[in-house]
Structure formats: structure tokens, C-alpha cells
Structure 1
């Protein structure tokens, strides 16, 4: 399927064909090294979300952790 860029006011627009289901309201857009224009669904970054950070903040409780060692073959040399 081919779409053409068209000018609307001062913006260039790519039309989304009907055959592509619209699953999200917002997209991040970038152009890769080969010139492809890529649209990715806009998602929130959990590491910038204060509620997520507060919920997953380490509280110092080691209950449930296994006390294990590191074998020699697991060490970086």
C-alpha cells in the first residue's frame, strides 16, 4: 500500500488508510537512518511516573530473597 505526503496548511500529512486499525490516539514519530518514517504508540515511561516509583521503591526488606553466591564462571574476567 502506498500513501503520498500532502500539504495541509503549513504541515505535511500522511493519511492513515482505512485498512489500518487505529488502536491508539497518540503516536511518537521518528525517521530512521534509511529514511523510513516510523509511528510508535505513545506510552508513558514508568520510570518518570511518581506512583510507579513509590510502589516499586526498595524498602530494605530482603524477605523472600535467596542468599546465594556467585560461581567463578559467572564472574567477569
Structure 2
């Protein structure tokens, strides 16, 4: 693995670690947006969210606890 890739992964991990226990917005490849409290993540960027809500056309649908598979994640942002 290149040095630049290692730095990128380290930054990603640190950023996600700082977001544990906080509300985040997750944008998925299929256009869905999920908001929830980030409880944990792994090296594949699989995310465990609590109090998750799906946002569709400014409508909010409560989803509860969700696991979001990392391969579907475009970005994760604090809300």
C-alpha cells in the first residue's frame, strides 16, 4: 500500500473515530441519505447507526438502528 493511501486511511479512521456518538449524514451510492448517531465502524467503512432516519425529498422516515454497508457509502459528514 502506498504512503499516500496509508495517510488517507489513517485520516478517515481518525475522522470517523471523532464522530463516534455524534449525529452524521451518510450519502449512499444509490442517492439515499441516512442520518443517525454513529456508534461504530470497521476497516471497510461499514457503519452502525442508531436513531437512523432516511431522508427522501425532504421527508423523514424513522429507521431505528441500521448497519450501512461500506461499499455503498459515498461520504460521511457531521450534521
Q: For this structure pair, what is the TM-score category when the shorter chain's length is used for normalisation?
A: under 0.3
* Structure with greater proportional helix content: 2
* Structure with greater proportional strand content: 2
TM-score normalised according to structure 1 size: 0.19
